[in-house]
Structure 1
């Protein structure tokens, strides 16, 4: 899910950045420092909405940098166990499939697919198929997260499609008349 959070972060400015563009420099460095990062307690920071408050800077001994504490508001993506998501399949092999849902990388093992799906090792594009629908690279799938792991810059999850209303999503080729 997506959330809006407020958080404090310290930003280190060079003396050359202390001129008339001071506030813009703080915001630019803050965005560079936190956007696209994965924080264990917060989730994946999608973007900084705005800087709410800056405390007066302090000169750091031995470096000459000015450290400014800034409070900001950001949009974060934090998936939870048991959450149902739609994802795009990025890779299929005999062990299972990998899918991507924004910054979240998901693995669905062969055992977590319905028993009716068998691995089809075509030379062009491997897939799992039950005869009518196929799970192949580029296709969309609805899955349920079983576990989520946060790392420094990425989020990984393990998921299943063994439940009602989960599995491949039918392609949206054309708009119905």
Structure 2
């Protein structure tokens, strides 16, 4: 799920960054500091929309850097337990499969696949197949999150495909008009 949040963050400017481009330096450092980071409380910061407010900077005694507190607005991605997502399969092995949904890495264990799917190791690309549809690297899958774990720079999840409307997403055929 995507959200728009407002949050305060402190950035440290070098004395050379003070001057006419002061506000641009604050925004650039803020973007560099938070974009692409995973914050436990808010999720994965996709991008900073804008800086809403900044307080006057304070000089750090020991370093000479100017520390500025800035309030910003950002788009964050925070997946929740029981959420249904579409993902791209990145790896398949006999224990299950791994999929990617944006910054979220998902593992679907073999036990969380429908019982009709069996592991096909002898193919050129390993896959789980039920005879008509196959789950292999590069394919799309709809899954339901069972648990989500946040780490310093990544989000991991465990998911299942047991349920209505879950499983492989068949490629759509484009009709030539």
Matching residue of 2:134: 134
Once residues 34 and 173 of structure 2 are traced to their aligned partners in structure 1, the CA distance between those partners, rounded to angstroms, is 38
Matching residue of 1:18: 18
CA apart distance, 1:124? 1.4
Runs of 4+ in 1 over 2 A off after TM superposition: none
Output the TM-score relative to the length of structure 2: 0.98
Once residues 122 and 41 of structure 1 are traced to their aligned partners in structure 2, the CA distance between those partners, rounded to angstroms, is 44
Once residues 62 and 167 of structure 1 are traced to their aligned partners in structure 2, the CA distance between those partners, rounded to angstroms, is 57
Q: 1:85 to 1:176 in 2, by over 3 A?
A: farther
CA apart distance, 1:173? 3.6
Q: 1:175 to 1:85 in 2, by over 3 A?
A: farther
Note the alpha carbon deviations across 1:11-30, whole angstroms, 9 max, x for none: 00000000100000000000
Note the alpha carbon deviations across 1:63-98, whole angstroms, 9 max, x for none: 000000000000000000000000000000000000
Matching residue of 2:157: 157
Matching residue of 1:29: 29
CA apart distance, 1:122? 2.6
| 2:47 counterpart of 1:47 | yes
Note the alpha carbon deviations across 1:139-168, whole angstroms, 9 max, x for none: 000000000000000000000000010000
Figure out how many residues of one structure are paired with residues of the other and give that number. Answer: 177
Matching residue of 1:93: 93
Once residues 20 and 173 of structure 2 are traced to their aligned partners in structure 1, the CA distance between those partners, rounded to angstroms, is 53
Once residues 176 and 97 of structure 1 are traced to their aligned partners in structure 2, the CA distance between those partners, rounded to angstroms, is 34
Once residues 57 and 71 of structure 1 are traced to their aligned partners in structure 2, the CA distance between those partners, rounded to angstroms, is 13
Once residues 18 and 10 of structure 1 are traced to their aligned partners in structure 2, the CA distance between those partners, rounded to angstroms, is 16
Structure 2, gaps ≥5 residues long: none
Once residues 43 and 112 of structure 1 are traced to their aligned partners in structure 2, the CA distance between those partners, rounded to angstroms, is 25
Output the TM-score relative to the length of structure 1: 0.98
Once residues 7 and 62 of structure 2 are traced to their aligned partners in structure 1, the CA distance between those partners, rounded to angstroms, is 28
Note the alpha carbon deviations across 1:18-44, whole angstroms, 9 max, x for none: 010000000000000000000000000
Once residues 9 and 175 of structure 1 are traced to their aligned partners in structure 2, the CA distance between those partners, rounded to angstroms, is 50
Note the alpha carbon deviations across 1:89-126, whole angstroms, 9 max, x for none: 00000000000000000000000000000000035100
Matching residue of 1:60: 60
Once residues 48 and 122 of structure 1 are traced to their aligned partners in structure 2, the CA distance between those partners, rounded to angstroms, is 47
Choose 83-92 or 165-174, whichever is displaced more: 165-174
